[in-house]
Amino acid sequence: MHRRSKALALLLLLPALALFAALTLYPLGRVLALSLFVTDYGFEGATFTGLGNYVELFSHRFFRIATWNTIVFAVLATASEVGIGLTLALLVNGRIPGRRFVIPVIIMPYVLSTMVVTAIWRAWFHYDFGFLNNVLRAAQVPPVEWLFNPDIAMLSLVIVDAWQTAPLTFIILLAGLQVIPREVYEAAEVDGAGPVRIFRSITLPLLAPYLFLAALLRSVDAFKIFDKVFALTGGGPGQATETLSMYVYRLGFKFFDVGLASAASIIMVVVAGVLAAFYAARLLRGSS
């Protein structure tokens, strides 16, 4: 059956190939070409500039700030989401009454639309009437400028992202914990190993591939972040939370500097490609 014609295989792949060609290959080629021109829309009336846009980007203060913000956000978000996910997974991976109900409840934020998530947290972060500051005032703690203090806005963004997506790392790590055979723990306990020792020399090493996968998936998504920034802070205050996606959006769709926005897009695609290579290597190693 496997020997049947290769033409048939290609035929079955054709619809997907056609969609990819029209929706990703062609656009990627076009954005690469546009990145070599000074233009406000397409190629008509555009001036060729070679790598000029790339050179200009790197001297652009806002581009450097957006790059830095993206790195800071990706590191903080990934670290806190893996940390929270791991804690939750360790808690739930045992005999707990009502476990059947606890797991879906924890997953709920993950299925919500980012716009719904943002709507809730914009209200919670409100300085005068927001739920968080009401709680702080009730506890006699001075209220916080969650979204308008440039030093705190990035942390607020991380809090929202962690609430929405720590459930994903939780599920990944719980799946990882559940494939560790019970006998391994029992043997260690017979040998007199304490809980800390067991965690360090059994749980962590066996969970390592899952931790890696969770961190990789979260950092890729954190690197792309757009909608939450758009609706929660708009990149502000000032440029305090402007990430690369937000920067590309402003350049391309607000200032119509399509050449420069395309160059920034290409840089993002290259970074995503490097992350994809890591992921592919991991998957290929896993399947062999």
Partner 1 sequence: MTGGTSAGAWARGAATYLAAVLFLLPIVWMAATSLRPPIEYISPSISLWPSSATLEHYRALMADDVAGKALNSIIVALGATSLSLAAGFPAAYALVRLRFPARLDMAFLVFVLLVKLTPPISLAIPLYQVLRALSLLDTLMGLIIVYQVYTLPFAIWMLLGFVRDVPVEYEEAALVDGASLARRLAWIVVPVMMPGIIATAVFVMILSWNEFAYALLFIQSPSKFTLPTFIATLITEDETFWGKLSAIGFLASLPILLLVGFVQKGLTRGFGGGLK
Q: Which is nearer to partner 1, 154 or 214 (CB)?
A: 214
Site for partner 1 in 62-91 (CB under 8 A): 87-88, 90-91
CA 161 – CA 25 distance, rounded (Å): 30
Residue among 113, 197, 201, 238 that touches partner 1 (CB under 8 A): 113
Distances (CA, A) of 84 to 76, 109, 174, 195, 220: 12, 14, 12, 19, 18
Distances (CA, A) of 123 to 18, 77, 120, 136, 141: 44, 21, 5, 15, 19
CA 252 – CA 258 distance, rounded (Å): 5
Query: According to the binding rule CB under 8 A, does residue 96 interact with partner 1?
Result: yes
Residue among 68, 104, 208, 255 that touches partner 1 (CB under 8 A): 104
Query: According to the binding rule CB under 8 A, does residue 196 interact with partner 1?
Result: no
Residue among 56, 72, 79, 122 that touches partner 1 (CB under 8 A): 122
Q: Which two tokens mark 138? A: 């009730």
Residue among 53, 69, 80, 203 that touches partner 1 (CB under 8 A): 203
Q: Which is nearer to partner 1, 106 or 240 (CB)?
A: 106
Q: Which stretch binds partner 1 (CB under 8 A): 52-60, 72-80, 128-136, 148-156?
A: 128-136
Q: Which stretch binds partner 1 (CB under 8 A): 46-54, 55-63, 71-79, 229-237?
A: 229-237
Query: According to the binding rule CB under 8 A, does residue 108 interact with partner 1?
Result: yes
Site for partner 1 in 13-72 (CB under 8 A): 13, 15-17, 19-20, 22-24, 26-28, 30-31, 34, 41-42
Residue among 37, 63, 73, 163 that touches partner 1 (CB under 8 A): 163
